[in-house]
């Protein structure tokens, strides 16, 4: 029997909740060294492209257990503010246990409806989460509204769109979650007046940088 959109949404959120405690081990731990730096070079590449500076306010959408936290805090410093947003409470709770810095606010909300102040963030980063948004156009409207004029919008993965979509197809809970084709992504960004500065979709790395 086919699942309804609502059932798909709930089973996706349950999947992420059920994997919260092991998330960092699953994706970021280098088994040989035991350190959580398996994608160190990829993160350096990503953050060389995102123009973060001391004092910035940044929204990390679908933050999970907070793998981006150290990279963002290092750049925005204690003068900045980081919003860690996720719709899965156990992901957010694990994140909160790992990151005690005073300039982090944890937000349990859906990207489509999160009620952060309009035009309050210098950057909105969607790392490894965009395919999971149920209504991508609605999420774009909400997230771009949170961005300041001149702010930076980022969508990134450490694989190509083809690789990401293949990976999701093999996992029941997220098998419907797709990173749209480049033309659809361009239309989604254009519809909310974001200008694309960079669009990389290559084996091992996907990154869109756009300006409001
Ligand atoms: C593949 S995980 C990536 C987590 C983290 N960015 C990382 O790379 O480790 C996707 C995350 O997005 C969150 N997520 C999915 N759909 C969401 C939505 N509509 N609103 C907010 N968070 C969402 C999930 O709960 C999960 O934590």
Q: Hey, where are the domains in the chain? A: 5-211
Question: Relative to the CA of 62, which ligand 1 atom is closest?
Answer: 12
SS3 label, residue 51: coil
pLDDT of residue 2: 82
What is the CATH topology of the domain spanning 5-211? Rossmann fold (3.40.50)
DSSP per-residue codes, 144-174:
HHHEEEEEEEEEEESS-HHHHHHHHHTSGGG
Q: How far apart are CA 155 and CA 20, in angstroms?
A: 22
- Cα 63 to averaged position of ligand 1 atoms, centre (Å): 6
> Does residue 100 contact residue 70 with C-beta atoms inside 8 Å?
no
Instruction: Say which residues have a Cβ less than 8 Å from residue 83's Cβ, sequence separation at least 6.
Output: 57, 58, 59, 60, 104, 105, 107, 116, 121
Report how far Cα 182 is from the mean position of its chain's Cα atoms. 18
Q: How far apart are CA 167 and CA 186, in angstroms?
A: 23
pLDDT of residue 155: 98
71 lines ligand 1 (CB under 6 A): no
Question: Relative to the CA of 139, which ligand 1 atom is closest?
Answer: 19
Instruction: Say which residues have a Cβ less than 8 Å from residue 25's Cβ, sequence separation at least 6.
Output: none
Low-confidence ranges of the chain (pLDDT < 50): none
């Amino acid at each position: 029997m086919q699942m309804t959109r609502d059932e798909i949404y709930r089973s996706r959120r349950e999947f992420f909740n059920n994997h919260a405690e092991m998330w960092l081990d699953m994706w970021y731990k280098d088994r040989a060294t035991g350190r959580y730096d398996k994608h160190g070079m990829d993160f350096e590449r990503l953050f060389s492209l995102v123009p973060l500076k001391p004092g910035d306010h940044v929204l990390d959408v679908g933050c999970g257990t907070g793998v981006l936290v150290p990279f963002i805090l290092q750049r925005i410093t204690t003068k900045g503010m980081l919003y860690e947003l996720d719709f899965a409470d156990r992901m957010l709770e694990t994140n909160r246990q790992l990151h005690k810095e005073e300039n982090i606010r944890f937000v349990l909300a859906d990207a489509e409806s999160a009620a952060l102040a309009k035009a309050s963030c210098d950057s909105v980063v969607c790392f490894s989460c965009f395919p999971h948004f149920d209504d991508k156009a609605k999420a774009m409207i909400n997230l771009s509204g949170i961005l300041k004029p001149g702010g930076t919008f980022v969508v990134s993965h450490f694989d190509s769109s083809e690789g990401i979509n293949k990976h999701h197809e093999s996992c029941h809970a997220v098998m419907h979650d797709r990173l749209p084709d480049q033309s659809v992504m361009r239309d989604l960004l254009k519809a909310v007046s974001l200008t694309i500065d960079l669009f990389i979709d290559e084996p091992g790395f996907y990154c869109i940088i756009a300006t409001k």
